[in-house]
Structure 1
Amino acid sequence: MSDYKYKRVLLKLSGEALMGSKEFGIDPGVPQKIADDIKAAHEAGVQIAVVVGGGNIFRGLSGAAAGMDRAQGDNMGMLATVINSLALQDTFEHNGMECRVMSAIEMHAISETYIRRRAIRHLEKGRITIFAAGTGNPYFTTDTAAALRACEIGAEVLMKATKVDGIYDMDPVSHPEAKKFDTISYMEVLNRDLHVMDATATALCHDNHMPIMVFNLDEKGIFDRALRGESVGTTVVDE
């Protein structure tokens, strides 16, 4: 494992990323690609935790916009993250990687209940650990759940895999002249309202000096390169 700079990390995946080319649900090719990307590091002993969103199935804010009670919508969104977590677990296990799903909402028949010390023990035993159901509370995003869990387990970095190759000063899709940052401070992210993660998640990482690394999920081998300490995407750090 000496080739890897980071020994314990948390990988944040959006639910939309699991759709691939589909308009809804899970493209089986995406979990397989993720498994391919992380397998070498996992086999080398890097401790990997995962948080995945549920936007490919249901998003609480969308439900609230349509007139649904926000808390009820968020509860549905948290259950969607459990579906995605089980799909990832199945793929990882089919690729020979031991994996546990730990849910912030108790559902003993299909997952373990999240307990911090047990989660750390799973990681120490070489099990990929997927944290499902967000924080277990409405009004908190899976970005905030990822920041919280990363701090709780003592991760060295929070890696957010997205559809863009880093953080820009404006939307690079609609503004070709947008400038990409190699590094940026938490406060600049908040002051510029750059939406790397929601403000609560960014502030939590800031308070606990948790670096955030943002990179393009689709770039082949990028997770392995990031773990080795190569400069990829954008890193959010202290001033």
Structure 2
Amino acid sequence: MLAFVAEEVRSIVGLGVQLAVVVGGGNIFSGCCRLLLWHGAYLGRSHGHAGHGAQQFGPAGCPGKKGIQTRVQTAITMHQVAEPYILRRALRHLEKGRVVIFAAGSGNPYFTTDTAAVLRAKEIHAEILLKATKVNGLYDSDPERNADARFIKTISYMEVLERQLKVMDMTAISLAMDNQLPLMVFNLKEKGNIFRVVCGEDVGTTISG
């Protein structure tokens, strides 16, 4: 699965798209390997400096083998494994075409990696947050348990909150709504989907204002 995801990421890095990744910890234990992805161009200029050499261990090892320049930044300091999260340094990595992997969530308890992904997306001025999962998008109920679950193509943040749809936690949806960050939910396991989403094809579910 790691090799598959790395190949999917490589397909869009070649387009010149700036990409950062947040991996949900709970999904590592469940074996789903669902990812939160976002892409977008930084609109201003950063003043940071590039970090040290490319990380080739932990989550960055497999992308490294695919010829993708990566950096791991973690919200909890662990210098022997990864860089500390420093926004200006992250922006500099993105400008240089490196894929940045944000680890350890937000570094705070009581906040999920969903919320951390929205937070990081806003900090790096991402154009969109991509919620990569194992179904085709957002449904009105769990499609794995309910054969009659209805697919939702587009929906507003407020409707997600009012109906308490379990695509992301409510704090993450509220933060995205407050900052007008569009969300795209799509099936990671279908080959080429990340490429299709980035190229503007009609894939998955869009959550916006």
- Common fold by TM > 0.5: yes
Match of 2:164 in 1: 193
State which of 77, 101, 104 in structure 2 corresponds to 1:130. Answer: 101
1:205 counterpart letter in structure 2: A
Match of 2:135 in 1: 164
Question: Displacement, 1:88?
Answer: 2.8
User: Does 2:9 match 1:38?
Assistant: yes
> RMSD between aligned alpha carbons?
1.5
Question: Displacement, 1:174?
Answer: 2.1
4+ aligned runs moved over 4 Å, structure 1? 56-59
1:106-160 per-residue CA deviation (whole Å, 9 max, x = no partner) reads 1111100001111111000001000000000011000010010001101111001
Structure 1 distance, partners of 2:135, 2:89, is 34
1:167 counterpart letter in structure 2: L
User: Does 2:208 match 1:237?
Assistant: yes
1:34-63 per-residue CA deviation (whole Å, 9 max, x = no partner) reads 11112121022111100001125569xxxx
1:173-197 per-residue CA deviation (whole Å, 9 max, x = no partner) reads 2222221111100001011110111
State which of 46, 58, 62 in structure 2 corresponds to 1:87. Answer: 58
Identity over aligned pairs, percent: 56
1:166–1:154 distance in 2 versus 1, CA, 3 Å: same
1:110 counterpart letter in structure 2: V
1:232–1:117 distance in 2 versus 1, CA, 3 Å: same
Match of 1:220 in 2: 191
Structure 1 distance, partners of 2:86, 2:151, is 38
Structure 2 distance, partners of 1:173, 1:94, is 34
Gapped regions of structure 1 (runs ≥ 5) = 1-29, 60-84
User: Does 2:78 match 1:107?
Assistant: yes
3-state SS, counterpart of residue 161 of structure 1? strand
TM-score (norm 2): 0.85
1:199 counterpart letter in structure 2: M
